Amino acid sequence: MPHRIAAIQKLTATEPHPERVAMFAIAGDSASGKTTLTKGLVEAIGTHRISSFCTDDYHRYDRKERKNLPFTPLNPECNYLEIMEQHLQLLILGQPILKPKYHHADGTLGRPELFIPSEIVIVEGLFPLWSKLSRATFDVTAYLDPPETVRRAWKIARDTTKRGYTTEQVLSDLEQREPESEKYIRPQRAHADLVISFAPVEGRSSLSATILLRPTVPQPDLHDILTPATRDAAHIKLIRDQDGKPVDALHIHGHAPEAASRLVEEKLWEKIGLGGDIPASLGRISSTERSAPLAIAQLIILHHMIHC
């Protein structure tokens, strides 16, 4: 009704201009490291400046209902993706949303929660890069792309300790999800500005990382960071992406001497320009484990967040 829409525009036009909301997507399959990466970033910057949610909250069915359905949560049919797109559009306008809530611990859908966008919003999950419309709402996008062997190990470790599944259930789940992962999740890799893969280098237990820095957005200038002094920790190489397109691949060595990795971190932190020390949450895998490649990946993302 044009006259009512005009009346509403008149009423809302007097509201103060919404603050700029910088939006970041971290997409990837189940147990690809999205939450660990996001958590470190949120703690580093503080919830007064950065907030995040998971697109799993848009699940249409709870765990019990899904048992009788012919698809897994990796199928768009299993999610309110139109509502997710609507909410993303509201967030970039600085508007609050009443976000649905999926509880991973017991697989239930709970009461919705008010989500007020802060200056920086991270949307992580299976579907942030699903559609042209959802992608248009983000400033910078990342896709987590660990090798399947690594992801499977992570998924078993997490789902059997935090989500109440047995190892057999997780393995059966992985098998059941594979066709939908191929069809709906992995194609999102093509639409990310950063593709991040944590993987062990042969013969080493620590994880290294490869970050594809695609020319789809301005990437941080690393020429003054990747010097002979940091050569043992990281190097960049021009390669062809899976689809043949040219891309810069930043390799971060998990087995590097701590001093060299620390130098990369410090130079990146300085370039970001927030001052103070590098936040302790960056690189944190658990209360006892730290990964320099994770910290460096988070610092690259943080650079985008502050300078996009």
Beta bridge partners of 57: none
Residues found in the chain = 308
The DSSP 8-state label assigned to residue 256 in this structure reads S
* Least distance in angstroms from the C-beta of 115 to a copy of itself: 10
- 136 contacts a copy of itself (rule: CB under 8 A): yes
Can you say how many angstroms the Cα of residue 34 is from the centroid of all Cα atoms in its chain?
5
- 96 contacts a copy of itself (rule: CB under 8 A): yes
- 100 contacts a copy of itself (rule: CB under 8 A): yes
Our CB check for a copy of itself shows the closer of 23 and 294 to be 23
- 111 contacts a copy of itself (rule: CB under 8 A): yes
- 218 contacts a copy of itself (rule: CB under 8 A): no
Our CB check for a copy of itself shows the closer of 98 and 201 to be 98
Tell me how many residues contact a copy of itself (CB under 8 A): 34
- Binding to a copy of itself by CB under 8 A, coded x per residue (else -) over 15-54, reads -----xx-x-------------------------------
Angle at 269 between CA 195 and CA 262, to 5 degrees: 85
Using left for φ > 0, alpha for ψ between -120 and 50, and beta otherwise, residue 248 falls in beta
State phi, psi for 209 to the nearest 5 degrees: -135, 145
- 217 contacts a copy of itself (rule: CB under 8 A): no
Which one among 51, 52, 118, 137 touches a copy of itself, defined by CB under 8 A? 137
How many helices and strands, by DSSP H and E, does the chain display?
Answer: 9, 10
- 8 contacts a copy of itself (rule: CB under 8 A): yes
What distances in angstroms separate CA 135 from CA 23, 120, 132, 242, one per listed residue? 10, 16, 5, 21
- 13 contacts a copy of itself (rule: CB under 8 A): no
Q: CA–CA separation, 283 vs 115, rounded Å?
A: 27
Stretch that binds a copy of itself, among 31-39, 86-94, 195-203, 235-243 (CB under 8 A): 86-94
Annotate 13-49 with b (16+ C-beta within 10 A) or e (fewer): eeeeeeeebbbbbbbbbbbbbbbbbbbbbbebbeeee
Which one among 47, 86, 176, 242 touches a copy of itself, defined by CB under 8 A? 86
Positions touching a copy of itself (CB under 8 A) are 1, 4-5, 7-8, 11-12, 20-21, 23, 62, 80, 82-83, 86, 89-90, 92-93, 95-98, 100, 109-112, 114, 132-133, 136-137, 139
